[in-house]
Every structure is written in structure tokens, then in C-alpha cells.
Amino acid sequence: MTRKTAQDFHPESLKIFSRSVHGEISRREFLTAAPRHALLRGQP
């Protein structure tokens, strides 16, 4: 199994993850937004 890199994820997914990690949004906000951005996977 190959390790994933930032290029494997949609930029919006990375932004929402970063905001969550750095405490800019709550866990609830992350869990609400994450599925929406997960649908964008593979789309530029």
C-alpha cells in the first residue's frame, strides 16, 4: 500500500482538516463539513 500525499486529496478537504487540527473549528463543524468535501475527492 502506498502512502498518500497532499496531491491525493482535494484542496478543500485539506483546508477543513487544517482548520480542525489548529482549533479554528470545532469537532462538530469538522464532522459536518468533512463529508461534503469528501464528495469532491478526485475533482480539481
1-42 pLDDT, tens per residue?
899 898 888 888 899 999 999 999 999 999 898 887 666 555
Listed by start position, the domains of the chain span 9-38
Residue 41: per-residue pLDDT: 54
Residue 42: per-residue pLDDT: 52
Residue 35: per-residue pLDDT: 82
Q: pTM to 2 decimals?
A: 0.69
**b/e for 1-37, b at 16 or more Cβ within 10 A?**
eeeeeeeebbeebeebeeebeeeebeeeebeebeeeb
